[in-house]
A and B are shown apart, each in its own frame.
Chain A
Amino acid sequence: GEDVEQSLFLSVREGDSSVINCTYTDSSSTYLYWYKQEPGAGLQLLTYIFSNMDMKQDQRLTVLLNKKDKHLSLRIADTQTGDSAIYFCAEIRESNTGKLIFGQGTTLQVKP
């Protein structure tokens, strides 16, 4: 199937770390992405990881990929109120034309 699944909601306190999880179904996925969507806005590309990598770090963001379990996670260190948004994981598959298959999004709420 085409399903990419995420938990719907995560609440953390400012300064804590946030971990957003995602599972995907296609083992042939080449790139996996994390996008951020703030209210009324389009999707902002946060980071991506190539399928032959286990981890990628970019400032406060850490992406972990477990290919065996088809599990992807995004860790946000020192979460700030400005990080409150919906986070989407998406996979792009070599076998298709490059279209992104999105999860349903995780709403991150950061409490002061």
Chain B
Amino acid sequence: EAGVAQSPRYKIIEKRQSVAFWCNPISGHATLYWYQQILGQGPKLLIQFQNNGVVDDSQLPKDRFSAERLKGVDSTLKIQPAKLEDSAVYLCASSLDRLHEQYFGPGTRLTVT
């Protein structure tokens, strides 16, 4: 079974630029999560989708971050404009349903200069 796929793996941008990340979850997984992991910390949830609907986006900085999962499969996370403090690893995870085990992709390491 293929795991969670993410691209790109690395991205370097200047502050105030925009960037987008892509995630393809495990086939059949209804729930998709985006986490932000700042160096030296544990991951923190940004947004959670159940199929193509948003379940929890309480920690998403909505003035600059947006995410969508239009067909209930792939998802994109966008940052516009980026700030220095957005430098982090962005992890996508999926699970069969809520309260099931979450499986993580390799992450996208973003550096904002």
Contacts and interface: CB of A to CB of B under 8 A. Distances in A.
Given A33-B101, A42-B91, A104-B40, 18 more contacts: A4-B42, A30-B99, A42-B105, A43-B43, A43-B91, A44-B104, A45-B104, A88-B43, A96-B56, A97-B55, A97-B98, A99-B45, A99-B48, A100-B33, A100-B45, A100-B102, A105-B41, A105-B42
Nearest to A88: B42
Interface of A: 4, 30-31, 33, 35, 40-45, 48, 88, 90, 92, 94, 96-100, 102-105
A98 B99 contact: yes
Interface of B: 4, 6, 31, 33, 40-45, 48, 55-56, 91, 93, 95, 98-107, 109
A98 B50 CA distance: 11
A69 B18 CA distance: 45
Contact of B101 (A30, A45, A99): A45
B105 A97 contact: no
